[in-house]
Amino acid sequence: MKSWNPQAYDAWYETPLGKTSDRIEKDLIFSTAAIKKGERALDAGCGTGIYSIELAKRGAATTGTDSSEDMLVWARAKARKEGLTIDFVSADALMLPFPDDYFDLVLSAGMLCFIKERGKALQEMLRVLKPGGKLIIGVLNKQSPWALFRRIKGLFKDTIYNRVGFISPPELELSLQRAGFDVKELRTCLFFFPINCRMYLKFAMPLEKLGSRATPRMGAFLAALATKP
């Protein structure tokens, strides 16, 4: 697998499409997560710290893990710039270096799409989560038109999406259940077409509302809320 380029990764979030997508995804994740101040939270597969930083800003005692040291170096620098204390740890998602029943909340946005042994990764998240604790998983939805567009694009250009394993809502729900979680909710967002144009994206929110009513399982970003029994 190619190494990650943190600068290129974060650069996408500065584009009109990246900014709009990030805002909508975070609205979905954090309306689902309902973070409580002082909770011990893990951002599994934290990358450049996008969600770790948001967790810390919301008052969680945050730890971020990733297997890429390049991404972690970048994440640490971003956290320092924000004046936030976040523990960024180099770790394999299949062998998390934490005791059982340690975190109140585990959040993982995107990582599961890049792991072949998804079940084992989910079991590790279950292990480190306290009984009754919450898991928030975000993945790229196989049932979205975005997935088809990204696959076609990958035929002509080497993109990150050539490495992605897209996941459908039924697949995610079954994986969570098999790992031992109680699945509470599945929701999607990003129903508009991925056009990187400010003028077009002014219509993003009306299209979001329309899509969530008409095709609620077909948004490009799929989020699930589950708990540890």
In this predicted model, what pLDDT tens digit does every residue of 79-123 receive, in sequence order?
Answer: 999 999 999 999 999 999 999 999 999 999 999 999 999 999 999
Strand extents, DSSP E, the chain: 40-44, 61-66, 87-90, 103-109, 129-140, 182-189, 221-227
Summarize pLDDT for 171-211 with one digit per residue, the tens. Answer: 999 999 999 999 999 999 999 999 999 999 998 899 999 99
Mean pLDDT of the chain: 94
Residue 163 pLDDT: 82
Give the integer Cα–Cα distance in Å for 105 and 42: 6
Q: How confident is the model at residue 161 (pLDDT cuts 50, 70, 90)?
A: confident
DSSP 224: E
Domain extent for 200: 6-227
What are the φ and ψ backbone dihedral angles of 91, each rounded to 5 degrees? Answer: -155, 150
The answer to whether position 43 is within a domain reads yes
| CATH code, domain carrying 126 | 3.40.50.150
pLDDT of residue 24: 96
What does the pLDDT look like over 47-62, one tens digit per residue? 999 999 999 999 999 9
Answer yes or no: is 35 within a domain: yes
Residue 1's pLDDT is what?
44
| % of the chain surpassing 70 pLDDT | 99
Supply angle C-alpha 200, 206, 208, rounded to 5: 95
Token couple for 164: 């992605």
Rounded Cα gap, residues 129 and 126, in angstroms: 5
Name the domain count of the chain: 1
Q: Is 1 contained in some domain?
A: no
- On the question of pLDDT at 2 being above 70, the answer is no
